[in-house]
Structure 1
Amino acid sequence: METGYPPNRGATLNRGKTLSRPERYQPAVPLLTAKESSSWDPWVVFSRVVTFWAPGSLLSSLGGLHDKGSQQAWREKIALCFIAIVMGGIVAFLTVGFSSVLCPPSAANNPTKFLRYNSTDASGKLGILGWQFDISQSKTAPNVDFYALSAQLTGQDITNRFARDYSKNPACQGKDIQQFAAVTMQLCQNKTICNAGPLSDQTFQAYNIKNTTKLVGYDWKQLASDPLKNYLVIDGNVLNLDPYIAATPVLPNDKVDVVIRTVLGTDHKEGGKDATRLFFGRPELKASVNCLLQKYFAGNIDKATIGCFTSQLFLYVSLTVILSIVMVRFFMACVFNWFISPRLALPPKKSSKAVVSPQVVVGGSGGGARAAPWAHRNESGAVVKTISMDDVGNDLFTVLLVTCYSEGEEGLRCTCESMAATDYPDDRKLLFLVCDGIITGHGNDKSTPDIAVDLLELVPEFKDPQPQSYVAVAAGSKQHNMAKVYAGYYPYKDGRKIPVVCVVKCGGPAEQGKPKPGNRGKRDSQLILMNFFSRVTYNDRMTALDYDLFRKIHHLMGVTPDFFEICLMVDADTKVYPDSLRLLIN
């Protein structure tokens, strides 16, 4: 069945070099040296790995993708989505989860979590089991004066004044750690020291001392002071080894004792009595850490841990980078707006170089509506005038594409009025309307194509156009579409008239009577114009619609379409500034 339009493929015959149009020559692509795509391309392999769950048979049966090219295109789209999701997950983790992983709440340096040892904030407080207890309203004890201890050093550890029994503690029952004196030692061998009673909630209630739920915080410099000379740090936890050092002699064969005395015997002016590496470097010593923490715990280092420091550093670096990018972009935008953009919008200088220009007839419709531009070239007495690119100057021939769907008269007129009001010669701009099907919008009494055509003063020769075939962006039977081309002028103020071509996609005979005949989408509307200019520029075979457009554009503008150099587009219902066209073209 003859459809009257060419197949949907590129040109099968290349143009040869001619004397009149040497610039149109296209060299043939060498077939023998063409680069072949490899099936083992990394991107292809990655897309197949990501979509391993979708075999070709499934895509063919459920997705309707029968050829390998379509299936590979689908796989690559899914691969791109996968990459976007992974990158989004990474950003979300760095934004939300990174700090939580490196600096959990238990390790975070929260000012509300600590009360610093020997500070004004710890006034009236004493440390027990690493927690600050409020003794400001405590009762007088017979054997211990809480007020005197607090006045001596606020926040100091008094855990050793309470009686404790760790012999049945599970953390201290391991057979491999029973050899260490620090594990097996009973802290209250001297009853005169543990004279405040048993370490229990009942004792605290009896003395009316209350837990503030804040840990005792220590500074590294404080650990170098004389009152804390027997304090050391394991993994950020501060241990009070005063009772152990006082009750235990040097034990050369006790590995824990050797490590404790080595760390405590080292002179650190800035503190630094950290035994973490020594304890965690050997399995038998690491096994004793939990028992030592439960027996000698006196608080925490209230400085940021390595993880917290790293997360904060990352946060500040990220913030600095982001703010730097924002500020640089803002600065560049200001420089561009104030200094560069005015220079870009200046009229270009006229080139002194010779330009190869198309040989185009000028003179509007002087050959009849159905005559080709060159129809009278050889007639005796015919005046044929040609122009060159130098004659065009800086006012380039421009197409203003407007895609329409279901807009009303107010929206279409607003767009046409704003384009007609642009500061640009009327004979160098062509308003190109494309109506995407016979559609009547909500609240309209006429279809959008009828509204668009009613806005124009049609050229009498083209007043009743016939539908012309073209190849649409669609599949199956919808690939064949038909459209009418209306040619006329849009009347504006002071007698001005702007040339207008209105393409109405009306559909083929089989679509008449169906909803939305001719509708193929905005992309198809754009490609009607771009495919037309592509075929005009490269002398490819044209559709019936292309021939109709060629003849009517030449009639309106006085030049053949290959003289157009600029194509700008807006949607209907869009208003443009009067100087926009001039600025963009400059």
Structure 2
Amino acid sequence: MVMTAIAGDKFLYPKLNKIVPFTLFSHHSPDLENPLLESELNTTENTKESISVINPGSKKRHKARCRRNGRNELFQSKVRGWHFYCRVVTIFIPSKVLKFCGIRTVEQQRAWREKVGLISIILAIGAIVIYISFIFTNTACGYKQPKILHRNVSDSFIRINGRAYPFNWANIPESTPILISYYGLFAPKSYGGKDASLLFQNVNGNCHGIIKPRENCTIPHDNNGNLAWYFPCVVLSKDDYMSWDPEIEIENKPSNCHISEFERDSYYYLEYPVNIYYTWDDIKNSNRSLVVYNNYVLDLKILQMLYKYDLDVPPKLLELGSLPINGYDISVTLTTNYDKKLARCLIDIATVGLIDAEPLGCIVANIILYLFLIFIMSIVILKFVIACYFRWVVAKAQGSFKVNNKTMIRIMRDIEDWAEDINKKAPIMNVNFLPENTSLITRKRDIVEGISLHPKRMSNPTSILSGPNSSNVKSTTYLKPNLKIGNSISQNFDSFIRKGENYCLCSFPETSNYRDSLLKSLNDGNLDPSIIHKNVVKPNNIIHGSSDGFLNTICFVTCYSEGVRELRSTLDALCTTTYPNTHKLIILVCDGQVTGAHNKKLTSEIALNMITDFIEDPNEVIPYSYLSIASGAKRFNMAKVYGGYYKYDSDTVEESQQQQVPIVLVSKCGSFYEIHSSPKPGNRGKRDSQIILMSLLQRAICNERMSELEFQLLKVIWQVGGKMIMEYETVLMVDADTRVFPDSIRHMCAEMAKDTNIMGLCGETKIANKKESWVTAIQVFEYYISHHHSKAFESIFGSVLCLPGCFSMFRIKSPKDKEQTCWVPILANPDIVECYSNNSTDTLHQKNLLLLGEDRYLSSLLLRKFPNRKQVFVPKAACKTVVPSKFLVLLSQRRRWINSTIHNLVDLLRHDNLCGTFCFSMQFVVLLELLGTILLPFAILSTIYVIIYSALFAPLPMLTLVLLLVILGLPGVFIVITTTKLVYVVWMLVYLVALPIWNLILPVYAFWKFDDFSWGETRATKDGKRNDINETADTFNHTAVNMMTWKEHALDEKARGSRYPFAV
């Protein structure tokens, strides 16, 4: 990808005698009105993973624009097609009806129609699955009548032509023949179990023209050859010898054959007969001449009872009755047209039942169902095995040191104990150690002798979490190596150009004298170290890394309506981690001037009271403008930047454990007009808060124009941290209601340092209020299984689909070569920043992506842009939080999560550049996740149906029951194998009881709220209004935001006599 063309932009390269001008351009810059649409993310150049440097006037610029225009046209055509489909689906509901129902604006009506369109697709997919599961077999097999084994036919049935009919024998004399009417059969009790087929002979059907009357035939017949009967009108015994039954006291009288029209109609009217069937063993071991033709069991011995003197019977038919072929299937022997006519005649007169065999359609249907069963069970078992492998093999080696299983269990138990209560303090850990078996992580850094990671920290007892075991833990002394300062930046850049490496964004040699070299090399725009806060460790004393993988890390905290307790506990946890303060910076962003429901002060005022040693008097700090993520006039926003050090409360953190941690507060306050007209001035949402940092990183690294706010943030970071923003490599995103375990950052950064291909990772989020209510209780197992099962499975393939915004770390930039002279922007990549800052939401899909699930959307963007890099899960890193304890709040939260999940999975599914191929690809995993999400209501309804059916009817659907047992039972086995506390088995049972809530109520509610983009009841404010980012139709003047490079901002400050961080 390429960067934005800005007329007059110039790059300054260190120790070059002249300014080298060249143009960097790409799609749109995020400071324009119509930023890059999320669908335009360039995936054709992903292998380059960086920004191409293109000379001015190159033809590539025109080609890039042509490709972009083509993608725009294709995207717009798809949008138009989607809108047309939604209009067709909802054509029966005119716009006037929607207006009458309160859906007045065009945008609202379009969103409602898109919602109905999405629901129609979900219903169609659900109908297909239900059809395959329950109806497909019946369709393929045809209607299946009940059947009974021939030897199991009881005396309450009479056999007629291979079927068993119930009959009424009460008050019927023994000498009475069978009577038939529309109400059923009536016969003496002695007829029970007997074969009365010869009393209901199938004549003149398929045998017409084959069995003919002779000239002297005594059987009634007509001129067309229609006969009254073929056999004696008698009842046959039920043994293996076809003979008259001596118990039946009736004679062979023509009146016994039911040949009248009324009797035949009554016989055909009888409903629900039971088919009699035979097994192959029954046919082979029978003394009767039983054969099979097309699944019909025929008794050829009955041919011996034909009236041969009255009937003209084909010799071949009589020959079949005399051949020793009992037990055979004669379907393949009767193949000519004439033979087939004989066979059909035999079916009419000699059928005694059906063979126990499935029709071809049933066989095909069963094969398909078995394949689906094997496929689903394979996936379930595979995920189970891989998740167990991750827990017992991979997780042990993650983080800053490798441990054995016993120590890993102790680590997880310590985390579990800490997470039992939201106010419980974590164990104090000594950070001045490294395990003896730690794998050294080679990084091109300089280590300074004798620097304590936390200057104010006292010696503390070592926790088992510090290393594999207490005996393997030792205090680390940082030895000063022979410093070898590399080539100058200009030399590195010259060699970089000579090698033709045109894919690298920028070059930052990682030496201890980087800033000194920069100060000396630039004579027109140098950094001024004199304005750095006095509490900052001077640059020449800063530890630039260690073998334990210390990376410069930003702890980014977003808050909205949190109170003192939430902010205090979150910041306490971050400030008292075992990660060195020289490599840690906290940035806190308050999203607007908002007062929480239980607060007396604004959230920004609460945060400001937690800062001390300001670099500037807070009363003198003025707001600065920037481009926010909104529409119309709300694109203009202002914020104040405060810099200082975290001020502890001695009641929450002991004085001996209080450390000097640099902290920057960004308080969004809105424009002057907004302050006096809006109840929540400056509020633009969490994504806008994230973009403030991401945009600064991108523009600082790429030397692009930035807003006044971004420049002030860059300056304050330099003043309180002693580092330029470009020197930070990772950013930890934490919500203001989240508490981080002390060694979490250390494990996360170590994992980042060990594998530079990791672009993002997350730890485990624990629930701290498990027993507060039944609503919290049903969430415990769901949180556990989503981390240790789902995320563990995805982490093996390096493709965790969702890095939760409450506790995730992202890589800002990654070294392109081993010498770390060339860096690839990851989170600061212009494509990522531009797509993530998109404020153009024309479709329901875009609104759900950008307004509800920003955390998952950012993870999806990174996977799409960098498919060959990794997003992983690190269970050694943990945090705890408070989950919704009221059902309405949970309903609102899951509505946002489910909708954003569906739309992000659809968005990922549209891109074919993910790793793997076919069933062994990440795209296939995404498809399974998507189907599993939208089919939750159908799955739970089917489960309930199967359970009820199994309890009331027979036979049991064994395949379905086995599948249910595997799906519901394996998580229980997984809990027993992986968890450190068996109490999670109880939490699993609570979760299973609440399955109708998880799989039916929450998804259905979410589907119906596809067009609701508010945050509902999740965040409450004092004015009682929801946390919605309102749009406005007012126009926005881009000239209101002053966009310049950092150098131009510094020159402007110098001209105005302001204090600036650069010696110009």
Q: TM-score of the superposition, structure 1-length normalised?
A: 0.71
Does the residue aligned with 1:424 lie in a helix, a strand or coil?
coil
Q: Structure 2 CA distance, aligned partners of 1:11 and 1:258?
A: 101
**1:190 equivalent in structure 2:** 232
Which of 20, 31, 48 does residue 61 from structure 2 map onto?
31
C-alpha spacing 1:115/1:511, structure 2 compared with 1 (3 Å): same
Give, in angstroms, the shift of residue 425 of structure 1: 1.4
Which of 160, 164, 167 does residue 197 from structure 2 map onto?
160
Pair 1:328-2:484 in alignment: no
Give, in angstroms, the shift of residue 523 of structure 1: 1.1
Give, in angstroms, the shift of residue 558 of structure 1: 1.3
**2:366 equivalent in structure 1:** 312
C-alpha spacing 1:432/1:327, structure 2 compared with 1 (3 Å): same
Does the residue aligned with 1:300 lie in a helix, a strand or coil?
strand
Q: Structure 2 CA distance, aligned partners of 1:131 and 1:322?
A: 39
**2:451 equivalent in structure 1:** none
C-alpha spacing 1:263/1:356, structure 2 compared with 1 (3 Å): farther
**Match runs of 1:124-139 below 5 Å:** 127-132=159-164
Q: Structure 2 CA distance, aligned partners of 1:544 and 1:294?
A: 95
Which of 615, 627, 646 does residue 471 from structure 1 map onto?
627
**1:357 equivalent in structure 2:** 510
Q: Structure 2 CA distance, aligned partners of 1:263 and 1:475?
A: 89
Pair 1:272-2:304 in alignment: no
Contact persistence 2:231–2:305 (CA under 8 A): no
Q: Structure 2 CA distance, aligned partners of 1:41 and 1:184?
A: 76
Q: Structure 1 CA distance, aligned partners of 2:324 and 2:541?
A: 95
**1:3 equivalent in structure 2:** none
Give, in angstroms, the shift of residue 453 of structure 1: 2.0
Which of 114, 117, 137 does residue 99 from structure 1 map onto?
137
Q: Structure 2 CA distance, aligned partners of 1:553 and 1:122?
A: 91
Give, in angstroms, the shift of residue 506 of structure 1: 1.0
Does the residue aligned with 1:127 lie in a helix, a strand or coil?
strand
Q: Structure 1 CA distance, aligned partners of 2:10 and 2:114?
A: 35
- Kindly provide the amino acid, as one letter, of the partner of residue 97 in structure 1: I
C-alpha spacing 1:385/1:433, structure 2 compared with 1 (3 Å): closer
C-alpha spacing 1:199/1:568, structure 2 compared with 1 (3 Å): farther
Give, in angstroms, the shift of residue 520 of structure 1: 1.0
C-alpha spacing 1:315/1:399, structure 2 compared with 1 (3 Å): same
Q: Which moves more between the two structures, 300-309 or 128-137?
A: 128-137
Q: Structure 2 CA distance, aligned partners of 1:266 and 1:480?
A: 99
Does the residue aligned with 1:461 lie in a helix, a strand or coil?
coil
C-alpha spacing 1:326/1:232, structure 2 compared with 1 (3 Å): closer
**Match runs of 1:519-558 below 5 Å:** 519-558=683-722
**1:222 equivalent in structure 2:** 282
Contact persistence 1:469–1:545 (CA under 8 A): yes
- Kindly provide the amino acid, as one letter, of the partner of residue 93 in structure 1: Y
Q: Which moves more between the two structures, 305-314 or 25-34?
A: 25-34
Give, in angstroms, the shift of residue 325 of structure 1: 2.2
C-alpha spacing 1:190/1:88, structure 2 compared with 1 (3 Å): closer
**2:527 equivalent in structure 1:** 373
Give, in angstroms, the shift of residue 333 of structure 1: 2.0
Give, in angstroms, the shift of residue 78 of structure 1: 11
C-alpha spacing 1:532/1:163, structure 2 compared with 1 (3 Å): closer
Contact persistence 1:160–1:187 (CA under 8 A): no
**1:559 equivalent in structure 2:** 723
Contact persistence 2:158–2:164 (CA under 8 A): yes
Which of 386, 393, 400 does residue 555 from structure 2 map onto?
400
Q: Deviations over 1:406-432 (max 9, x none)?
A: 222222223223323322112322222
- Kindly provide the amino acid, as one letter, of the partner of residue 557 in structure 1: G
Give, in angstroms, the shift of residue 137 of structure 1: 8.3
Pair 1:300-2:354 in alignment: yes
Q: Structure 2 CA distance, aligned partners of 1:148 and 1:240?
A: 23
Contact persistence 1:499–1:556 (CA under 8 A): yes
Q: Which moves more between the two structures, 568-577 or 225-234?
A: 225-234
Q: Structure 1 CA distance, aligned partners of 2:600 and 2:320?
A: 93
Q: Where does the alignment leave 5 or more consecutive residues of structure 1 unmatched?
A: 1-7, 66-70, 204-209, 363-370, 378-382
Q: Structure 2 CA distance, aligned partners of 1:264 and 1:480?
A: 98
Contact persistence 1:360–1:559 (CA under 8 A): no
Which of 597, 613, 616 does residue 442 from structure 1 map onto?
597
Q: Structure 2 CA distance, aligned partners of 1:489 and 1:259?
A: 107
Q: Where does the alignment leave 5 or more consecutive residues of structure 2 unmatched?
A: 21-49, 88-93, 96-103, 178-186, 213-224, 236-251, 264-269, 402-439, 446-485, 487-507, 517-524, 532-536, 751-1064
Contact persistence 1:419–1:576 (CA under 8 A): yes
C-alpha spacing 1:242/1:346, structure 2 compared with 1 (3 Å): same
Give, in angstroms, the shift of residue 308 of structure 1: 2.9
Pair 1:410-2:469 in alignment: no
Does the residue aligned with 2:639 lie in a helix, a strand or coil?
strand
Which of 226, 244, 247 does residue 306 from structure 2 map onto?
247
Q: Structure 1 CA distance, aligned partners of 2:292 and 2:732?
A: 75
Give, in angstroms, the shift of residue 435 of structure 1: 1.4
Q: Which moves more between the two structures, 258-267 or 447-456?
A: 258-267
Give, in angstroms, the shift of residue 473 of structure 1: 0.9
Does the residue aligned with 1:567 lie in a helix, a strand or coil?
strand
- Kindly provide the amino acid, as one letter, of the partner of residue 423 in structure 1: T
Which of 296, 320, 341 does residue 395 from structure 2 map onto?
341
Does the residue aligned with 2:638 lie in a helix, a strand or coil?
strand
Give, in angstroms, the shift of residue 223 of structure 1: 3.6
Give, in angstroms, the shift of residue 343 of structure 1: 2.2
Q: Structure 1 CA distance, aligned partners of 2:569 and 2:315?
A: 90
C-alpha spacing 1:352/1:518, structure 2 compared with 1 (3 Å): closer
C-alpha spacing 1:538/1:315, structure 2 compared with 1 (3 Å): same
Q: Structure 1 CA distance, aligned partners of 2:737 and 2:682?
A: 21
Give, in angstroms, the shift of residue 385 of structure 1: 5.1
Contact persistence 1:107–1:308 (CA under 8 A): no
Provide the aligned C-alpha RMSD in A.
5.3
Give, in angstroms, the shift of residue 524 of structure 1: 0.8
Q: Structure 2 CA distance, aligned partners of 1:260 and 1:12?
A: 100
Give, in angstroms, the shift of residue 557 of structure 1: 1.1
Q: Structure 2 CA distance, aligned partners of 1:458 and 1:265?
A: 113
Identical residues among aligned pairs (%): 25
Which of 417, 422, 439 does residue 577 from structure 2 map onto?
422
Q: Structure 2 CA distance, aligned partners of 1:396 and 1:259?
A: 94
**Match runs of 1:30-69 below 5 Å:** 30-34=60-64, 36=67, 38=70, 51-53=83-85
Q: Structure 2 CA distance, aligned partners of 1:12 and 1:64?
A: 37
Q: Deviations over 1:201-252 (max 9, x none)?
A: x99xxxxxx9996432222343445555255444x454556656642779xx
Give, in angstroms, the shift of residue 103 of structure 1: 4.0
Give, in angstroms, the shift of residue 516 of structure 1: 1.4
Which of 119, 144, 151 does residue 118 from structure 1 map onto?
151
Contact persistence 1:162–1:199 (CA under 8 A): yes
Q: Structure 2 CA distance, aligned partners of 1:510 and 1:40?
A: 36
- Kindly provide the amino acid, as one letter, of the partner of residue 405 in structure 1: Y
Q: Deviations over 1:375-411 (max 9, x none)?
A: 769xxxxx99568995576211111222212222222
Contact persistence 1:361–1:386 (CA under 8 A): no
Give, in angstroms, the shift of residue 504 of structure 1: 1.4
Does the residue aligned with 1:497 lie in a helix, a strand or coil?
coil
**1:368 equivalent in structure 2:** none
Q: Structure 1 CA distance, aligned partners of 2:542 and 2:52?
A: 22
Does the residue aligned with 2:573 lie in a helix, a strand or coil?
helix
Q: TM-score of the superposition, structure 2-length normalised?
A: 0.42
Contact persistence 1:125–1:136 (CA under 8 A): no
C-alpha spacing 1:292/1:404, structure 2 compared with 1 (3 Å): farther
C-alpha spacing 1:327/1:198, structure 2 compared with 1 (3 Å): same
